[in-house]
Every structure is written in structure tokens, then in C-alpha cells.
Amino acid sequence: MTAAGKERKQSGGLAYDYDVGGLVEAAREARLHSYSPYSHFQVGAALLTENGRIYTGCNIENAAYTPTNCAERTAFFKAVSEGEHSFRAIAIAGGPEGSSREEQDFCPPCGVCRQVMMEFCSPKTFEIVLAGPGDAVRIRTLEELLPEGFGPGNLEGTLQ
């Protein structure tokens, strides 16, 4: 599938009505702001809220490694810090520093980012758009990338 325009369906029967291409382009643009002097691997993310607003993020590395923040979490934390809690989709674009669009491969979110998504998103409906070489995209639900994920629903009835 290509990222051009508003798509109505993707393989697996999921329907969506947002501008996949626009979301991917926002992620590719966010990637250009990456601070990655150690890995030289640049990642950008564009997070779409239920009300149509897009929050972008890039990976931000740190010499101590542990404080490094992924692009996806940067986008989520920006959105949540501004009061957003309902999300539809996220596009992710990544690749080595200086790589062209055609040289960039699919860049799935790490486990920590998937867990953050689980905190705020419905695993059955939240879509993760992976930008690939050229205009290629793969779209997966959070449930596909984090089967049997642990989230707020697991704690219902346990907190007082």
C-alpha cells in the first residue's frame, strides 16, 4: 500500500478515514529534528488525536543512554501534557542519518513505546502506520504489535 491520500481500507479489513499520507509526511518531517549523535538513527512520529490534531515527536538521545526518549513517546508526552488523552493513530518513520526516503525501512515501535500506547489507546482500534521505503506503508493495530498487552483494564477493581 502507498501513503497517498485518504485511504478507506487496509489489509486485514481495518477501515480508516484519516489522511495516511499526511500523517506519514508529518512523521518524516519530525524525523529531521532528531537528536541522535550516538546511534545516528533518526526517528520521527506523528500522533493523530481523535479530534484530528497531530502531535509530532523525534528521538532524543542522551550520553547516559537510559534517559534517551523515543519519537513515539515524545509525541505522546507532548499530547498528554497539553490535555489530550484520546488517540486514533501514529505514523513512524525512521532510518540512518542522511538516508533517503527510498533507503528507509519500516521502523516499528520498541516495547516501551508499545506499553505507553497501551496506557492511552484501544489495542483493537489504535493504528500504527509504519513508513517504509518510498511511499510504502504498513498499518497494524496495537493489538497486533502487543498481543495480550497489560493496560489500565487489567487494574480495574484493584485500585481504591
Express each pLDDT in 111-134 by its tens digit: 999 999 999 999 999 999 999 999
Q: Binding site for substrate: what residues are annotated?
A: 59-65
Which CATH number is 3-41+72-148 given? 3.40.140.10
Q: For the segment 142-157, what is each residue's pLDDT rounded down to a tens digit?
A: 999 999 999 999 998 6
Element (H, E) at 40: none
Set of cell numbers at residue 8 = 478507506
**Dihedral of the CA atoms 144, 150, 151, 154 (nearest 10)?**
130
7, 72, 103, 156: the active-site residue = 72
Q: For the segment 54-83, what is each residue's pLDDT rounded down to a tens digit?
A: 999 999 999 999 999 999 999 999 999 999
CA–CA dist 122, 10 (Å, integer): 18
Q: What are phi and psi of 74, to 5 degrees?
A: -60, -45
Q: Is 72 a catalytic residue?
A: yes
Query: Which amino acid appears at position 21 of this protein?
Result: G
Residue 9 predicted with pLDDT over 80: no
Q: What are phi and psi of 2, to 5 degrees?
A: -105, 165
CA–CA dist 41, 138 (Å, integer): 20
CA–CA dist 72, 57 (Å, integer): 6
Q: What is the pLDDT of residue 4?
A: 47
DSSP states of 27-80: HHHHHTT-B-TTT-EEEEEEEEETTS-EEEEE-B--TTSTT-B-HHHHHHHHHH
Q: Binding site for Zn(2+): what residues are annotated?
A: 70, 110, 113
CA–CA dist 57, 79 (Å, integer): 10
Say if residues 158 and 20 touch (Cβ distance below 8 Å): no
Q: Binding site: what residues are annotated?
A: 59-65, 70, 110, 113
